[in-house]
């Protein structure tokens, strides 16, 4: 996965090259002259349209919210604010403008260069697109990727009020969603983040788009060997909400206990998964899909039927033979309680399926010709994984025409020998 840097707003450099302390209730001016060297009374801002974007009475958050400013006056090339708290700042700290429409492109020049000269060159499977605000942002990324990047999936990171307002159009165009709670919590009231999280996860589930919940999930484990109980509950609730994946950030990037954080995250997810009644989840999702989108496509109906059949016969595994991986995504959408084994000849499809589709394991096959032998190999893999034993039922999905993308139209029930 390649994570784009996205647009950013930062404070400037300081006259003393060290730090400044802003006292509570003091006045501070933010100027768009980025050459200005700041002090306790005036700081530079990298965003040229700052005066046009904010309004009197609005807020400006600096350094991840460690300093909160209230806008008092708007000038041609600067704004005057009052500090709501005391804070010490270094140089080039990030800034957020809650509730404001920021007039910056989602894709910066650096992002385009990274996509073309790194992402395409190294064959990345996913693009995590930062600060996606409209469906057009997804179109712009696909345009930059061009024909060479048509197999790359895009995960839209929702990090702003504008992204929330345009969520439906973003969801329709993206391949997946990331609930980026860190920046989102700076852009909307923090007490409303849980509502946004639940809304995005539910809509993504119904659309069959994988969704990742991220940021500050086990934050205390950056410095502590064990998480807080609230953090454990937070991770578990994301799983119960229906997230396909959870993501660690600082815990593994610069934390003192990266391995322990991953292990703990896995344990919590396993416990939460065990509390889900998947038969009810399947029925709820199926009804929601029909109510939201109307009649299913043939491929989606077969995926739904495969999960229902697996539930009814108490199958221990579902096997999918696929080229593009779309059938694997649709199966994962209906949340089968049994593991899904995806077999494909496309290495990229195998990585994408196992990376983000819930409950899926994948293997890349040399060829998809010879359905019977491939299914035999699948049951053998199921035995190796400890999923099935002789006498167990397995549901299989594949196409009548072998090795053709989008042709999945056959459902079989096999008995493991």
Helix (H) or strand (E) holding 72: strand 67-74
- pLDDT score of 368 more than 80: no
- DSSP reduced 3-state for 376: helix
- DSSP reduced 3-state for 267: helix
Strands 95-96 vs 317-321: parallel, antiparallel or unpaired? unpaired
> Cα separation of 154 and 356, whole Å?
12
pLDDT number for residue 319: 96
Residue 227, CA atoms < 13 Å, CB-side half-sphere: 25
- Arithmetic mean of pLDDT, 148-172: 96
- In residues, how long is the chain? 417
> Cα separation of 302 and 281, whole Å?
18
pLDDT number for residue 407: 60
Strands 42-44 vs 27-31: parallel, antiparallel or unpaired? parallel
> Cα separation of 382 and 21, whole Å?
61
Strand arrangement of the beta sheet that strand 126-129 belongs to: 2-3, 126-129, 153-158, 176-180, 211-214, 245-247
- Is domain 278-415 in CATH 3.40.50.1860, yes or no? no
Q: What is the pTM of this model?
A: 0.91
> Cα separation of 353 and 365, whole Å?
14
- Which residue stretches of 18-108 are H helix? 50-53
Q: Of 104, 85, 91, whose CA–CA distance to 23 is shortest?
A: 85
- pLDDT score of 371 more than 80: yes
Q: How many helices (H) and strands (E) does the chain have?
A: 16, 19
Which residues does 25 contact at the CB level (< 8 Å), separation at least 6?
82, 83
- Arithmetic mean of pLDDT, 363-376: 85
- DSSP reduced 3-state for 383: helix
> Cα separation of 141 and 105, whole Å?
11
Q: What pLDDT, in 10s, does the model give residues 314-344?
A: 999 999 998 888 899 999 999 999 999 999 9
Q: How confident is the model at residue 256 (pLDDT cuts 50, 70, 90)?
A: very high
pLDDT number for residue 406: 54
pLDDT number for residue 17: 80
Kindly report the average pLDDT of the chain as a whole number: 94
- Arithmetic mean of pLDDT, 22-40: 96
DSSP states of 98-125: TT----S-SS-HHHHHHIIIIIHHHT-S
Q: Specify whether the backbone of 235 is left (phi greater than 0), alpha (psi in -120 to 50) or beta.
A: alpha
C-beta atoms surrounding 108 within 10 Å: 16
Q: What is the dihedral of CA 294, 300, 303, 304, to 10 degrees?
A: 0
How large is the greatest C-alpha to C-alpha distance in the chain, in angstroms?
A: 78
Asked if 127 and 152 touch (Cβ cutoff 8 Å), the reply is yes
- pLDDT score of 28 more than 90: yes
- Arithmetic mean of pLDDT, 145-154: 96
Please give the CATH superfamily to which domain 2-96 belongs.
PK beta-barrel domain-like (2.40.33.10)
pLDDT number for residue 400: 54
Asked if 51 and 80 touch (Cβ cutoff 8 Å), the reply is no
- Which residue stretches of 294-370 are H helix? 298-312, 326-333, 347-356
- DSSP reduced 3-state for 208: coil
Q: What pLDDT, in 10s, does the model give residues 262-276?
A: 999 999 999 999 999
Residues β-bridged to residue 74 = 79
* CATH architecture of the domain covering 109-274: Alpha-Beta Barrel (3.20)
pLDDT number for residue 322: 87
Asked if 329 and 353 touch (Cβ cutoff 8 Å), the reply is yes
Q: Where are the domains of the chain?
A: 2-96, 109-274, 278-415
- Arithmetic mean of pLDDT, 46-71: 95
């Amino acid at each position: 996965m390649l994570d784009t840097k996205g647009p950013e707003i930062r404070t400037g450099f300081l006259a003393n090259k060290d730090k400044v302390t802003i006292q509570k209730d003091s006045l501070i001016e933010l100027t768009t002259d980025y050459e200005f060297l700041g002090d306790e009374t005036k700081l530079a801002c990298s965003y040229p349209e700052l005066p046009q974007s904010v309004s009197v009475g609005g807020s400006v958050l600096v350094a991840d919210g460690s300093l909160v400013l209230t806008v008092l006056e708007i000038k041609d090339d600067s704004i005057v604010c009052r500090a709501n708290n005391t804070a010490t700042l270094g140089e080039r700290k990030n800034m957020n403008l809650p509730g404001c429409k920021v007039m910056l492109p989602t894709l910066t020049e650096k992002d385009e260069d990274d996509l073309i000269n790194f992402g395409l060159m190294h064959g990345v499977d996913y693009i995590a697109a930062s600060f996606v605000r409209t469906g057009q942002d997804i179109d712009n990324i696909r345009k930059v990727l061009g024909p060479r990047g048509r197999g790359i999936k895009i995960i839209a990171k929702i990090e702003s009020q504008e992204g929330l307002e345009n969520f439906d159009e973003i969801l329709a165009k993206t391949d997946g969603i990331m609930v980026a709670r860190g920046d989102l919590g700076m852009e909307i009231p923090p007490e409303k983040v849980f509502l946004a999280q639940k809304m995005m996860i539910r809509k993504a589930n119904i659309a069959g788009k994988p969704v990742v919940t991220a940021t500050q999930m086990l934050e205390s484990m950056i410095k502590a060997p064990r998480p807080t109980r609230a953090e454990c509950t937070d991770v578990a609730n994301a799983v119960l909400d229906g997230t396909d994946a959870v993501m660690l950030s600082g815990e593994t990037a610069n934390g003192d206990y990266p391995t322990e954080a991953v292990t703990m995250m896995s344990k919590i997810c396993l416990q939460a998964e065990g509390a889900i009644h998947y038969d009810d989840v399947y029925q709820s999702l199926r009804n929601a899909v029909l109510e939201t989108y109307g009649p299913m496509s043939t491929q989606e109906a077969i995926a739904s039927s495969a999960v229902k059949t697996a539930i009814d016969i108490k199958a221990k595994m579902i096997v999918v033979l696929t080229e593009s991986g779309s059938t694997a995504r649709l199966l994962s959408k209906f949340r089968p309680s049994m593991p899904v084994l995806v077999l494909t000849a496309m290495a990229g499809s195998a990585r994408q399926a196992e990376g983000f589709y819930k409950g899926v394991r994948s293997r890349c096959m040399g060829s998809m010709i010879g359905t019977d032998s491939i299914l035999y190999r699948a049951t053998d893999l199921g035995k190796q994984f400890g999923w099935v034993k002789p006498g167990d039922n397995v549901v299989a999905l594949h196409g009548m025409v072998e090795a053709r993308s989008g042709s999945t139209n056959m459902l079989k029930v096999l008995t493991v020998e």
